Amino acid sequence: MSYRYKVASVYLLGFFIDCINIFMSAVALPSLSATLHANSSAVAWVGNAYILGLTLIVPVSTWLAARFGNREILTASMLVFSGSVWMCGQADSFHELVLWRFVQGIGGGLLIPVGQALTFNLFQGEQRAKISTLVMAVALLAPAISPTVGGIIVDSSSWRWVFYSNIPFSLIAAGLSWFWIRERKPAELRRPDIKGLVFVSAALASLLMGMSLYGGDYPPLAALVFVIAGLLLIALYVLHYRRCNNAIVELSLLRSKKLSTSILVYYAIPGVFTGVNLMSIFFLQDTLHFSARLTGMFMIIYAIGAFIAMTLCGRVYNRVGAKRLFILGMLLHSAGIATLVLVNAPGDLWIIVLAYSLMGIGGGIGANTAQTTSLMDFAGGDTHKASVIWNINRQMSFSLGAALFLMIFNVLLKQFDTTQAYHATFAVAALVGLLPLFQMRQLKPERSAHEQRSG
């Protein structure tokens, strides 16, 4: 095997591990919350803590690799990941589990951007398209199989083995990183914007905490305090940004309609889906008494729809344009969420299959179009800065989606019975997923390739 494919193998293995940790753990949440006595408001922090760890470390991971060496950072990341996964499985309290999930996110966040940079620097031109296809295949394979595998593990043993099962993969990734990655002399890089990173991470944590507390068994004032703190931290970052020459998030780039619209769509589709899927897992397991295995299998339906949509979307993007694809993706995705409102009994399997099919097709169109469109206005150094914004917001969308709809469900649960509260939450989510439609008029249609040649 050539060196570049060795590097690509390390990156793809790490990327696969990261993906399955988001989706496999979700299917174990009902069992986990019962064992550790965590309510539905708090249980989202199993995912939030992991994503917060990723958000904190991703912007500085490249600097750390340049300072200490690629091989050392990649190996250390998977060793940290392995140790924290073991401690997650050993956790005797919910707070202990959340702490180790945060550490686990830091471990995963070190490998992904460093491995991606190494890989894409070794694959140029047409070869980069091939490796991108492999990355997309992993991104679809992981959510397709991990919920089903996680469900089998939960049904046959314990939620703890959902975490333990990661250890062989992460240890293999650590070993391959040490033996396959060639050492490079650390380069001198500008010191990262640590202060700005702290503001951004603290603001996200405060807003998530506020949404988690509101609607739960906590005083509304406590939730309000965290929300206000989050907004103040955002204001502090804006002031910091105006004085900093190397800010972690370059806010001026948000003037790009393509980037800002893509970010909104990502919140409306993958972000909303993360919350809807979490609510669906609890609805199907706790209310309709589906097994964890059957619940996880619906993600296979979603992944098939997303794969078909992404394949077609890549072929027609230049001819159809981002605006039309965004609109189609949001309409189909929200239609799928709205279909979940019709689910009332265990016999409604075909309704659930239809719902996940529509969400998969719409989600595939929307997410793929957003990924393609987001960085089109940038070149050179601005591309890297825009990429930082895109990836931080991509991670935030998952956490905010889960926290938002858990909050909405808990508020509705005080007014309706359980099934009605789930149905109302799905209806609200379907409407929220359509909000970026109001932004579409600002997105100018791209000129076709024929028009560009004629001009």
The predicted model scores a pTM of: 0.78
Q: Residue 172: what pLDDT? A: 95
The mean pLDDT of 19-28, rounded to a whole number, is 79
Instruction: Indicate the pLDDT class of residue 38, thresholds 50, 70 and 90.
Output: confident
**CATH fold label, 1-187:** Growth Hormone; Chain: A; (1.20.1250)
Task: Give yes or no on whether 1-187 and 256-448 have one common fold.
Answer: yes
- The single-letter DSSP state of residue 448 is P
Q: Residue 112: what pLDDT? A: 76
Instruction: Indicate the pLDDT class of residue 276, thresholds 50, 70 and 90.
Output: very high
pLDDT (tens digit, 9 = 90+) per residue, 247-272?
777 888 888 888 899 999 999 998 99
| 313 pLDDT more than 50 | yes
User: What's the one-letter identity of residue 26?
Assistant: A
The mean pLDDT of 64-91, rounded to a whole number, is 90
| 273 pLDDT more than 60 | yes
| 51 pLDDT more than 70 | yes
Phi, psi (5° rounding) for residue 66? Answer: -70, -30
Report the CATH number of the 256-448 domain: 1.20.1250.20
Every domain of the chain and the residues it spans: 1-187, 193-247, 256-448
pLDDT (tens digit, 9 = 90+) per residue, 156-196?
888 899 999 999 999 999 999 999 988 665 555 667 788 88
Q: Residue 328: what pLDDT? A: 95
Q: Give the Cα separation of 343 and 406 in Å (integer).
A: 19
Higher pLDDT, 75 or 1: 75
Q: What is the DSSP string of 286-323?
A: IIS---HHHHHHHHHHHHHHHHHHHHHHHHHHHHH-HH
Q: What angle do CA 367, 368, 374 make, to 5 degrees?
A: 85
| Helix residue spans in 38-185 (DSSP H) | 40-43, 45-68, 70-90, 94-122, 126-156, 160-164, 167-180
Share of the chain above pLDDT 70, in %: 90
